[in-house]
Amino acid sequence: MIDLIHQDWFVTAEGQCQPRPIARPWELLQDHYYLHQFLSDIVQLLSNAATETDQWDYLPQIRQRVRQLMLNSYWLTTQRAEPDPKTGAAVLTLYDEIGYPLTVQTVTTNPGVTTPIHNHGTWGVVALLEGQERHTLWRQQANPDRLERVGHHTLRSGEIISFCPEAIHQVETIGPTPALTFQLYGDTQPQARYQFEPDPFLAKPF
Ligand SMILES: [Fe+2]
């Protein structure tokens, strides 16, 4: 874990990627941190939120739990699916059951794979376990609807990026090796999740 970059980021609705303070890594080390403990901790944290839209107030604490998992779970890095030869990507769901409100997964992507421009319709925390990816950040402006490219952020192994529900990004896997990410999302509202075309502006369900 020594060569990992320990830095957290937060992407605003305006497409600004802001650094966020983190605990010192050695303060987060423990004997083990099982996935079931992590999931219970997240559910416990979110139970403090009065409404679903208040959940992302807890992003600092959620990011810290994700970093704890990253630092203390070797198992996590073994949870990867082989990328599909056609799409160059693979998603492995780590936990799900009927009614469970969170998305918990690892995603493996080959170099060169680029996602559509999209939002998630909920908060999200993504930890880069291996490789590198470039997040291009956009913001949506109304009347008339248009999409403006704000900038980009290159995420390196060990970094965590988090998103408010309105954040819009496009992710490209860069560098010579595949990227492996751990991804956690809140309760996705299907009517709030879109992929976008910037010119001419188009938003369609994602
Ligand atoms: Fe995304």
* Interatomic CA distance for residues 83 and 77, integer angstroms: 15
Alpha carbon of 3 to ligand 1 centroid (Å): 25
Question: What pLDDT score does 3 carry?
Answer: 64
Q: Residue 194 pLDDT > 70, yes or no?
A: yes
Please write the tens of the pLDDT for every residue from 6-56.
899 999 999 999 999 988 888 999 989 999 999 999 999 999 988 877 888
Domain ranges of the chain: 8-205
Picking from 48-62, 63-77, 132-146, which range would have the lowest pLDDT averaged per residue?
A: 48-62
Q: Residue 2 pLDDT > 70, yes or no?
A: no
Q: What is the mean pLDDT of residues 150-178?
A: 97
Q: How confident is the model at residue 4 (pLDDT cuts 50, 70, 90)?
A: confident
- Computed on alpha carbons and rounded to an integer, the radius of gyration of the chain in Å comes to 17
Alpha carbon of 92 to ligand 1 centroid (Å): 15
* Interatomic CA distance for residues 196 and 146, integer angstroms: 10
Alpha carbon of 189 to ligand 1 centroid (Å): 14
Would you tell me how many other CB atoms lie within 10 Å of the CB of residue 200? 7
Residue 196 in tokens: 């976008």
**CA-CA-CA-CA dihedral for 97, 101, 102, 105, to nearest 10:** 30
Question: What pLDDT score does 7 carry?
Answer: 95
Alpha carbon of 181 to ligand 1 centroid (Å): 11
Fold classification of 8-205 is: Jelly Rolls (2.60.120)
Alpha carbon of 143 to ligand 1 centroid (Å): 25
Q: What is the mean pLDDT of residues 172-200?
A: 93
